[in-house]
Amino acid sequence: MLNELLAAEGLTDESDVEHIHLLVADWQLLADLSFADLVLWVPSPSGSYTVVAHARSTTGATLFNRDLIGARATGLEKELLDAATESRSYVTRVAVAGELGVSAGSADVDILAEAVPIVRHGEAIGTVIRYSEEARRRGSSRLEKYYRETAMALMTMIVQGTFPDRDAPSGARHGEPRVGDGIFILDRDSHVQYASPNAVSLMHRLGHGGDIEGSYLAEVVSSLGAELRQVDETLPLVLTGRTPWRTELEVGRTSISLRAIPLTDEGERVGAIVLARDVSEIRRRKRELLSRDAMIKEMHHRVKNNLQTVSALLRLQTRRIDSPDAKSALTEAMRRVSIIAVVHDVLSQGVESEVDFDEVVDKGLRLTPELTSPLVHIELKRCGSFGAISSADATSLALAITELITNAIEHGFPVEAQEGLAPGETLNGHVWVTPDRQGDHLTVTIADDGIGLGDAQSPGNGLGTQIVRTLVSADLAGSIQWQAREGGGTVAVLDVPLRPDSYD
């Protein structure tokens, strides 16, 4: 959506668009430190300005009862934006809410609007306006004072093009620390200038009982001694605020996520902020999920082994039976057990609830050549991709496709067709498996160039056909049709509605 809004205003340069994306991804931090609303305005070639993003503070009340995305600047706002864009510097205005279109409960409430141009290569590609209620800025607490000073430092860096840092690790992580979780503000020498109450509580939870302000954060952590587990090599750089990085700190059963943001002015380091969050519960749940995933993988692995054992027992039994009909029935049962084992084998290799069905089909195709006689050579080919299929659909779908391939080989190239072949001559045939995936709908065509159906309109009511019809109608809620193939042979068309969460 942001890309579309930027493109509509003529901003298409990939580097500039990426810079705005990085800013928007990180500006909740700035909104929370400012106790203010942030609105991103982008100029258009016509000289107007449009809102493309809006962030509300989680540390204070919002001044806007509605999202401003898509709004156009008029009056005082346009004058403010023009001034910031032309000067490429920080510009402020104080006006009543009514003049700025702000719904703050009263139209005569004084609002401070601070315009911060986003400067790239000497040009302002957009402007962030910070809206805050002027009355709330008077008599601020110590926490608010330090938060606003830090926000101002970050706004200065936006104008100078050094925030956000393009070299910093990008993308939100699970357990990303936020302003409200805890923040340490460091001076240029990496002393803790201010620690928020939540940040102090975090350090007490880790076992530190002394003062934090005025100390080195790295020394505070080092004092935890033997309780401190092996740490990431980037931890000292994060604790001193010298690198825009993320890391984690573990002491006993407590895990703390840390993120450092260096503060600079004209390229010179003036301090840093270190955000901290207790992620112990998140990490505990993650370990439980990993344990559960490992258990599921092991379960699929054991099921696969058991099925392979059953298949091996059926093979042994087949060798001890003289009846051709009984031998054929056991061979078919062995093949069906083997294809189910293939599905569990694929599931045992990952933790996802979906399987790469191309792999399942390809392994199933390798099981079928043993069905043919020495006088018949069948070339099996998959044309197209199935994609990811839900494990709930995979077993039934794999069995149905395997049965259709088996029917195509057995009935498309029967013994009668092999009569009359010269010594050493083989009957060559083809079977094609063609999937057509359209979102949550799958159509599979199994075609052969065998003898065809003849005068019949369906392959009959053999066990294989009954199994396919039951799987398709009952388990997959789909349909199947057989028809003659142009040029000779048979075509089976399988239509299946896949479960919505199985489409990748």
Range of the structural domain that residue 424 is part of:
355-362+373-504
Same structural domain for residues 198 and 104? no
pTM metric for this prediction: 0.63
Same structural domain for residues 454 and 378? yes
Same structural domain for residues 274 and 286? no
Strands, E assignment, 385-440: 388-390, 427-438
Same structural domain for residues 475 and 400? yes
Average pLDDT estimate for 3-32: 90
Residues 470-479 pLDDT 10s: 888 888 889 9
CA dist 42 and 69 (Å) reads 11
Same structural domain for residues 44 and 136? yes
Check whether 416 has a pLDDT greater than 70: no
Check whether 95 has a pLDDT greater than 50: yes
Tell me whether residue 451 is in a domain.
yes
Left if phi > 0, otherwise alpha if psi is -120 to 50, otherwise beta: which for 252? left
Name the 3-class secondary structure at 238: helix
Same structural domain for residues 410 and 483? yes
Same structural domain for residues 387 and 476? yes
Tell me whether residue 158 is in a domain.
no
- Domain end: 278, 294, 312, which one? 278
- Domain end: 110, 140, 170, which one? 140
Tell me whether residue 289 is in a domain.
yes
Which two tokens mark 85?
Answer: 């864009």
Same structural domain for residues 270 and 303? no
Confidence band, pLDDT 50/70/90 cuts, at residue 443: very high
341 vs 195 pLDDT, higher one? 195
Give the pLDDT of residue 90: 92
Same structural domain for residues 347 and 380? no
Same structural domain for residues 193 and 136? no
Burial of 322 (0-12, 13-18, 19+ CB in 10 A): exposed
Count how many domains the chain has: 4
Residues 173-215 pLDDT 10s: 666 899 999 999 999 999 999 999 999 999 988 888 888 999 9
Average pLDDT estimate for 46-75: 89
Tell me whether residue 429 is in a domain.
yes
- Domain end: 278, 306, 321, which one? 278
25: CATH: 3.30.450.280
Lowest mean pLDDT, pick from 27-31, 104-108, 186-190: 104-108
Confidence band, pLDDT 50/70/90 cuts, at residue 101: low
CA dist 244 and 241 (Å) reads 7
Give the pLDDT of residue 502: 43
Same structural domain for residues 188 and 262? yes
Same structural domain for residues 214 and 243? yes
CA dist 173 and 296 (Å) reads 25
Tell me whether residue 497 is in a domain.
yes
Give the pLDDT of residue 503: 40
Q: Helices then strands (H, E): number in the chain? A: 13, 17
